[in-house]
Structure 1
Amino acid sequence: MSFIKLSSGKFVLLSTVQLDAQAKREIHDLTQGGELIEAIIGTNPFHTLAFEQFYTLYPNAAYYGTPRHLRKFKEIPWAGCVTDPSVLSRWTPDLALELTQGGEFDDPQPESTNHFAGVVAIHVPSKTMIVDDCFRVSRNPGFIERGIFGRRDMEVSFHWSLYNDALYKTPGAVQTFYDWVIHLTKAYDFDNMSTAHGGILLGGAKTELLLGLEKAKDALKKMAVANGGDLVC
């Protein structure tokens, strides 16, 4: 979960987690009892376990969710869906929001494993990219990660589901995903990355993302060819 402080002094919260008593006190102090919480955004269709608790605690915030959030929690008066371009651009220039491209976002299947697609957020003032499942940081990689996958400490790679169910099985899906990652590196000035898998990378995040994409290129090309397409880099 991330707290984004806007230039207005209010906060946008990305995703939600279950809160214990200490976390509630910290949020209370940070946001003046919730008065400074402008919006709470569901950034991944399957990160859903704490939205009901948050709505009970902070009913005056505006809630924005993925299509799956809107279907799953009808008791929350959602202010909008993150697939709406006006929602994605609502907090610019402080916060940029992008949807993962090349795979299913509305109703990913199978639900047990395909959690790849989500909202990637870039907090412009701090040059920080915040991402759930599609990108990951290898923090202190173990023997298997180092030996089999050649992972370095603080290396940026992709969630394993990229090579299984994440992308559409269509000729152009891999190219669409590849081009989207390149777009992120060209459109935004980010240097840090905060991920749900692996932790936080301070410095060099854009370089590491490009290195991770280069490392994955051969596997992505094979996927594209297997689905009747190709990958042009």
Structure 2
Amino acid sequence: MEHLAENFWNIRGDFKIAKVLNIGTHMSLVRRPNGKFVLLDSYDLDADDQRELMALTDDGNQIEAVLNVHPFHTVHCKSIKEMLPHARLIGTRRHHSEAAHLDWDTDLIEDEATQQQFSDTFDFSIPDGVDFIPEDESIHVSSIIVRHRESGIIHVDDTLMFLDVPALLEKFGPGPRLRFHPNLAGGLEKRAGAADDYIRWAKQLGQDWADTKIICAAHKGIMRLTDQTFSDIIDKALEHSMQTLDEHREKYG
């Protein structure tokens, strides 16, 4: 559990593909201006992290809500609800269908009205031009990106991925360390203009959140910006994905 700003903590976790490749996952704890706490995403904490979380939040009693911001991150919702039965469990419409047995709050986090309830603490952004909940459940391109307004820290799941590789390896695989999801081609809506909508959204995100200095990415770590702006690294990530975007434009217009 890493204390990144006065009112922001990030907890790193494990998530293994085929029980072998650990691509990581995370959950963030944020203290709101009213003194209450909110969790971003769900994770089944180990004993040390749970002890620290409970110590910060009066045995969890000060945690008022859990915002699950990626429709396909559902594995740990049950354990979080069991740990915090009093907290509002807020998710996407897919959370409601995939884990209907849980006591979900009726509000959906993808809805602007729900996001407005937390606007004193967070900014939210959902990518344009991609399916938020695609029929092909192997495509996890879209999610709700959250920015803590006070600290400027971004919490993001699959939409943006951080390649935390040693400097030596970067020489053999050059490219931006922050990248859009590798299955962007599958996630783009099958219509004319989707690629341009995605580019427009990404560039606007970079400009609006340009002063961001820390990005907490589920896959696979915490990125600290020193000599470049968030706008710069978004532009580089777009350049890396431009072939995909161009091919989509050629096919659909």
Whether these two folds match at TM > 0.5 is yes
The residue that corresponds to 1:7 in the other structure is 33
Q: Distance in 1 between matches of 2:80 and 2:219?
A: 23
Equivalent residue for 1:91, pick from 115, 118, 123: 118
1:201 has 2:223 as partner: yes
Determine if contact 1:116/1:162 at 8 Å carries over to the other structure.
yes
1:23 has 2:49 as partner: yes
Q: Secondary structure at the match of 1:81?
A: coil
Q: Distance in 2 between matches of 1:19 and 1:198?
A: 17
Equivalent residue for 1:132, pick from 148, 157, 174: 157
Q: Deviations over 1:26-69 (max 9, x none)?
A: 22111111111121011111111111111111111111101110
Q: What percentage of residue pairs aligned between the two structures are identical? A: 27
TM value normalised by structure 2: 0.80
TM value normalised by structure 1: 0.87
Question: Which amino acid in the other structure matches residue 110 of structure 2?
Answer: T
Q: Distance in 2 between matches of 1:145 and 1:68?
A: 37
The residue that corresponds to 1:171 in the other structure is 192
The residue that corresponds to 2:175 in the other structure is 151
Q: CA deviation at 1:173?
A: 1.2
Taking only aligned residues, the RMSD between alpha carbons, in angstroms, comes to 2.1
The residue that corresponds to 1:82 in the other structure is 109
Determine if contact 1:171/1:225 at 8 Å carries over to the other structure.
no
The residue that corresponds to 1:55 in the other structure is 81
Determine if contact 1:138/1:151 at 8 Å carries over to the other structure.
no
Question: Which amino acid in the other structure matches residue 57 of structure 2?
Answer: T
The residue that corresponds to 1:100 in the other structure is 127
Count of residue correspondences: 222
Which runs of no fewer than 5 residues in structure 2 stay unpaired? 1-26
Q: Secondary structure at the match of 1:2?
A: strand
Q: CA deviation at 1:89?
A: 2.2
